[in-house]
Amino acid sequence: MKNFFSLITKNQSLIYKVFLFLLSTFLVIYLLPKGGQFKYDFQKGKPWQYENLYADFSFTIKKDTETLENEKESVRANSIPFFDKDISIAEASKLQFKDFFEESYSDSLYKSSKASVARVGNNILSEIYKNGVIDEINGYPKDKLVYLKNGNELEEINYGQLFRKNDLENFIATTSKAEGIDDATLLLTQLLNRTVQPNIALNADLTEEAINAEIEAINPNRGIIEKGARIIAKGEVVEGDTFQILNSLRNEYQSQVWSNSNYNWLLVGYSILVSLVFLMLYLFLHKYRPRIFENNTKVTFIFFNVILMVLLTTIVVKWDAVYVYVVPLCILPLILKAFFDPRLGLFVHVLTVLLLGFIVPNSFEFLFLQTIAGIVTILTVSELYRRANLFISVGQITLVYIVGYFAFFLIQEGSIISLEWQTLGYFVLAGLATLFAHPLIYFYEKIFGLVSDVSLLELSDTNSKLLKELSNKAPGTFHHSLNVANLAEAAANEIGANSMLVRVGALYHDIGKMINPTNFTENQVNSVNTHNELEPTESARIIIGHVINGIEIARKNNLPDRVIDFIRTHHGTSVVYYFYKKEQELNGEAKLEDFQYPGPIPFSKETAILMMADSVEAASKSLKEPTSTKIDAFVEKIVDGQMEQGQFLNANITFKEIQIIKKVLKKKLNNIYHLRVEYPE
């Protein structure tokens, strides 16, 4: 049991990677559509590239989307609306008219008899309420058939037979004239306007329910292909009915009904393909990015982003596949480039797009557009911390999407007459959504503890609290750090290393000297050296201690680990040679370990550059009457000495790059001291 736990402890990193691999594979398979995959790839307007295709089973031909939409519109246009009829309103209006009439009529005011006027008023009410009174404007034609619903009874009439309240005054005037009571027209108009109330109202719910029932009854099929029938011949152009038949066959393959009997085999196939994708990612990291592969946090971050993009695309496709291009997939290479490097960003983007090919419709078109957009993202986005660069890149990505989609549309349709302009709007939305990369980078930095160029730019601000404190407590060290930062940045630019990272590392590499700044020569004034009164071993302990002190200060101020690495490695395992020799002179012997920095040695190009720049800049202060020859010689001596000590064995740096760094350091130091080449006398 003890051996078992020991084995688990030793291999916990590997076990975690296996667990992450299995979990990611399971999640992606869960998100993938659970249907079979059609084994043929075809495009409208292009020839069929395979052998003659025959139906392996009978299946129905599905109507295309446009046909179904037209049928639905036809159902809505021809549907019979339902209106509610309330006869109690008619009775109430007649009673109310009688009361108002008794109160308002006076024999002295009208020539027409009271009985005649009352009779005409009642006749008008009977006539207009015969079919019903409506006060709504529905826009139906007069010959439109409608249903009047009165309780459980249903009556069928034309819409024009309903009386509209707006016609009431004209109807009263016409009827009064015909009945010979013109003098009472105004009275009837006033009374009937007060008493007549609409008793017909559109029943929108019942009408919509009837329409939906008819739409659901629409047959989505328009025919059957029998088993064994030829669907398409080799070389035949895919268009018209043939295109719709092929779509129907593909839908049949991808349907849940078809896949139920093969569900287990379907899962096996998906498992193999998804596993291959994640296995390729692991192999790439192991072979070309071993430092990332060894860091479980970074590996988790990469897998998390892949699954996040698969999840977002799945949600959009299930909601409405039309909006699939709104998903800002180019955020993925953007973010990975910000935290790692362009090659890794593009590789992960391509693998993610391959996974999405199982989910999206028109997978070839999707794969092509997203791959090209990913390449453009990697090639165009540089110095992400500059806001203008991101906007320019987003514009280029959007343009590539639009141009690519336009080209595919021309290939498939052969014209631009039916171009779907709203799809171009989706690409613009995807481009705008890509701008969300900046806040997303910030959140990822806080959650995963990673560092991007944006954060490095903030850390390089010399007005930051920690660097201000350094300049106040140890001005000599601060000035030395600025010089080292300039040297290291120039060298990094020449060999293609991360110049922003190495500059930040150089600014903070000596912050440990703030503890006892006067113990370091660059901060001593009046030529008072505190080490003259100390033993060599004690002096060495103080000098070496600035590395440990620097790490502690950095952690208290929440500096990223990538910056702390420069503090740990800028002296590697070198020896404080001055005090080592002094100890030998005083006591005849000296223990090397008492005068050696704890390390580790540099393990990247950037940390190696800092070691060289730091040593060269510090040593240059001891040169008396510096000349170009002297500077060239001492740069060679210092860097070659570090190489002989094996300080760069773990750094991914070549001899050629070291030679380039030497040249940069020589040139920059010559510029600092305003030196020129010595000419012979």
Give average pLDDT by consecutive 10-residue segment, the chain, 681 residues. 63 88 92 68 73 77 80 88 89 86 76 82 88 83 87 86 87 84 82 87 89 86 79 79 77 59 76 93 92 90 94 89 86 88 92 90 84 87 63 82 82 70 81 81 84 82 90 90 93 90 93 87 73 79 90 91 91 83 76 83 92 89 78 89 91 92 90 59 48
Per DSSP, the residues of 506-548 read: HHHTTGGGGSSGGGSGGG--TT--GGGGS-HHHHHHHHHHHHH
Which domains does the chain carry?
2-25+263-448 (no CATH), 76-214 (no CATH), 455-672 (1.10.3210)
Residue pair 505/512 in contact (Cβ under 8 Å)? The answer is no
- Per-residue confidence (pLDDT) for residue 257, from 0 to 100: 45
A 10 A CB-CB count for 366 gives: 19
SS3 label, residue 283 = helix
Q: CA-based diameter of the chain, in Å?
A: 147
* Residue entry with tokens 């699939």: 324
The pLDDT of residue 7 is 62
Residue bearing tokens 């006076």: 106
Hey, what are 600's tokens? Answer: 């580790």
Q: What pLDDT shows up at residue 663?
A: 93
**What residues contact residue 167 under an 8 Å CB cut-off, 6+ apart?**
none
DSSP, res 81: P
- The pLDDT assigned to 387 comes to 62
Cβ neighbours for 243, distance < 8 A, ≥ 6 positions apart: 42, 44
Cβ atoms within 10 Å, residue 113: 13
State the helix-helix crossing angle for 536-556 and 561-569, rounded to 10 degrees: 170
pLDDT at 347: 95
Supply the pTM of this predicted model. 0.63
3-state secondary structure 539-587: HHHHHHHHHHHHHHHHHHCCCCHHHHHHHHHCCCCCECHHHHHHHHHHH
Tell me the residue type at 239: E
At residue 87, the pLDDT reads 86
